[in-house]
A and B are shown apart, each in its own frame.
Chain A
Amino acid sequence: MRPEVKERIDREIRENAVTIYMKGTEMFPRCGFSAATVEALRLAGAEGSIHSVDVLADPELRESIKEYRDWPTIPQVYIGGEFIGGCDITRELYETGELRTRIQNALATAG
């Protein structure tokens, strides 16, 4: 991964309380897992605060994000700069209520 790309991701996940790297956009997801993950984030209180990045629009980012946290699949969710996981983990955390707590904390910190 080129250092510029790594810096871009570093900055993006630091500056946004909730970031999702996905296929398609928040409004028009192009993959069922991406859509379901956005939905879990919304239901957990992130509506209006989700920074979504369409990896289909950027082939280099699409490859780099897989290396970034050594995670081979998309979508990827980051909350408060921390890697959360993909669709399964995000939904599991939603079901336990932990996703809401993490989002609230990240939004509070972002002020």
Chain B
Amino acid sequence: MAGQGSIRDGVRERLERALEGMIEVRDLTGTDNHFEVRIVSAAFEGKTPIERHKLVYAPLLDWIEDDTVHALSVRAYTPEQHESLTKEKRS
């Protein structure tokens, strides 16, 4: 467990240590155990969706295993993908 801090902060800290890039963690249910993470990182370049998810799961495996993190939705983008998504939204 993450001591007195929220699990959400713990998730973000662990991800920040593991992956370089833009990281956002949302608490989906207000219960601090269902999260959506959005990550933009060059680490995802050339990786399949399965490989990208595994990179995100890796630093959180023990929390997924013991149900500290009950549900985790992952949006993993490369900087290039993120750029084109942002453009789409603007136009």
A interface residues with partner B (beta carbon < 8 Å): 31-33, 70-73, 83, 85-89, 92
Contacts and interface: CB of A to CB of B under 8 A. Distances in A.
B50 A85 contact: yes
Interface residues of B, number: 13
Given A33-B71, A70-B54, A73-B57, A85 B64 contact: no
B71 A89 contact: no
- Dominant secondary structure of chain A at its interface with chain B: mixed
A87 B53 CA distance: 11
Given A70-B54, A72-B57, A92-B49, A87 B65 contact: no
Interface string B52-71: 01100100010011000001
B50 A73 contact: no
A89 B57 contact: no
23 contacts: A31-B71, A32-B71, A33-B71, A33-B73, A71-B50, A71-B53, A71-B54, A72-B57, A72-B61, A72-B64, A72-B65, A73-B57, A73-B72, A83-B50, A85-B49, A85-B50, A86-B53, A87-B73, A88-B49, A88-B74, A89-B50, A89-B53, A92-B49
Contacts of B64: 72-73
B36 to A, nearest CB: 9
B75 interface: yes
Nearest to A36: B73
- Dominant secondary structure of chain B at its interface with chain A: helix
Nearest to B50: A85
Nearest to A91: B73
Interface string B11-36: 00000000000000000000000000
A71 B49 CA distance: 12
Contacts of B73: 33, 87-88
A59 B57 CA distance: 22
